[in-house]
A and B are shown apart, each in its own frame.
Chain A
Amino acid sequence: MVIIARKKISANINLNKYRVYIMAIKFLGKTLKNTMVLASGVLGNSHDILERVHENGCGLVTMKSIGPEPRDGHKNPTVIDLGHGIINAVGLPSPGYLNMENEWNDLEKRDFPLIASIYGGSVREYQMVAEFVSSKKPDFIEINISCPNSEKHGMIFGVNPKSSHDVVSAVKNVIKVPLIAKLSPQALDIGEIAMACEDAGADAICAINTVGPGMVIDIESQMPVLAFKKGGLSGPMIKPVAVRCVFDIYKAVKIPIIGLGGITTGKDAIEIIMAGASLVGIGSAVMCRGIDVFKKITTEMEAWLRDHDLCMEEIIGAAHREV
């Protein structure tokens, strides 16, 4: 369970009548410097860039999803900015879990908390990748059962409670670090999926992956813009879906939630926390606010909390209160 390392320190009354809020948080036994999480699939390609993201104010960083074999992903165009968000079908590129020795060597010496995200094309593949990755000692393993950009990986596992349960329990059996299940908003009842994951031994839920898939057609060439034709939506346009999903999951399970989907500002982060998230993932916002978006959002969250004289533990799931 989440324990908030909340500290309200009385500040000098002459300087500030409000208390000082420290954003450090304990998540599944690990102390994080703040609630910010780098979403999987964003920047997380090497130790050096993950370290830079951490230095830019991100409490917990996620590697790009690791697969069972080398995979190039789709041809370009793969990522398009639509103005109100992004559509992407990168298609789960991965060197394959056995071909990442340099990266694992670099990451072994890291001084930041790390989530390793994994995917497979069958329960057995998820298990194989997870067991190996667990031996490399990431702080957490996230299983991606929600990517909409591949025909045979990801989302097909995460939209059904039975297959979600199967993957989570198979992986849970072979790993030595806490397990996070990353869910898709495409599930008919995301609360039910989260319950299945919790029942199968998941330690936390991460929601949501991209919405869709959707499609954009260029009317001049009369062709879908993405080479894969369809792709997942992210960015500000999906935030209401993310907030609703986190709300439903919080109602359904007791394990903590990493909430993400279109979070761009401190107020967005507060909103998804009120829906039930303990940590807040950031992805597309890196595009419009830069790599230091994590610092910016944390500062905005602190300011809001100070203005309202509230601390984190008071607002997690606050929107569930019945008046």
Chain B
Amino acid sequence: MIMNTITDQKHVMLRVEKKYIENQTHATLYFAHALLFKPGQFIMVWIPGVDEKPYTISFHSKEKFAITIEAKGIFSKKAIALDKGDLVGIRGPFGNGFDIKSEGQVAVIAGGCGMAPLGPLVEKLDKNITFIHGARAKDHILFPDRFNVERLICTDDGSLGHKGVVTQVLEQQISSGKQFDMVYTCGPEIMMYHVFKICEACNIPCQVSLERYMRCGFGVCGACVCSSRVVCKDGPVFGSEALREMKDFNTKALLKSGKEVDLSQYFSWRCK
């Protein structure tokens, strides 16, 4: 039987149930709405009259979910200013999500706001994982009291944990004899790239969650292509096999106009 009908993906209009200020630049918005969801998937969040952007789910339970916002550009500054009772529209969830392996030794590596999609993943995984989290400074460590899992923290300024970057901690773990069967990571693309390189050198399969400018969310418009992959539909999570073929990973991205630029130029535009 051929599927000739399309599933309706119009906005579900929701009111912010609760806002929690995480730190100076991050806030979490909670919604009392049941979502069918897999860690790593995302939703399109519409603020009527403003714009619509993809956000990953940072917290999920049977009757609630949340998104965590970092104030960066025009949209995220508006989003972070939302408060209890404000109306937003959501579409989704979209994308593939993480392929969760229940066996073997697992490492989860978060960088900055990349902690958001990894929150529900960490909660789903076994407690016996290696969990590395890097951020600019102590205040920027998201969800400090959320998990029952030991977290290896590193900060750029050394205000908490190891002074340095997550890849150093990962390398230490590997050289001290830890053997990983899967590494999950989300954070700045350059960080994920170096995590991927370490994994490749050590023959460890890896899953990274990518970000690109998005429009439709369901793999039609092509705004978010990364090499031959459509990030919103084939991703946002990509495994090692796909990453090896994606020469645009950590190198190129498309601007809103479709112009292909270096990643640094893309990210400086995204933060406006």
Contacts and interface: CB of A to CB of B under 8 A. Distances in A.
Contact of B46 (A41, A46, A76, A264): A76
Contacts of A236: 4-6
A82 B230 contact: no
A227 to B, nearest CB: 7
Contacts of A51: 228
Given A264-B4, A265-B4, A49 B225 contact: yes
Contacts of A64: 222, 258
Given A49-B230, A94-B257, A79 B11 contact: no
A84 B219 contact: no
A52 B228 contact: yes
A99 B4 contact: no
B49 A223 contact: yes
Nearest to A80: B10
Interface of A is mostly: loop
Interface residues of A, number: 57
Contact of A96 (B254, B257, B260): B257
A82 B10 contact: yes
A135 to B, nearest CB: 20
A99 B215 contact: no
B224 to A, nearest CB: 9
Nearest to A73: B256
B13 A45 contact: no
B220 interface: yes
A235 B10 CA distance: 15
B219 A287 contact: yes
Nearest to A297: B2
Given A77-B46, A288-B6, A218 B89 contact: yes
Given A43-B222, A45-B225, 8 more contacts: A51-B228, A76-B52, A81-B9, A83-B8, A93-B223, A99-B259, A225-B10, A264-B2
Interface of A: 41-46, 48-49, 51-52, 64, 70-73, 75-86, 88, 90, 93-96, 99-100, 102-103, 216, 218, 220-221, 223, 225, 227, 235-236, 264-265, 283-284, 286-291, 300
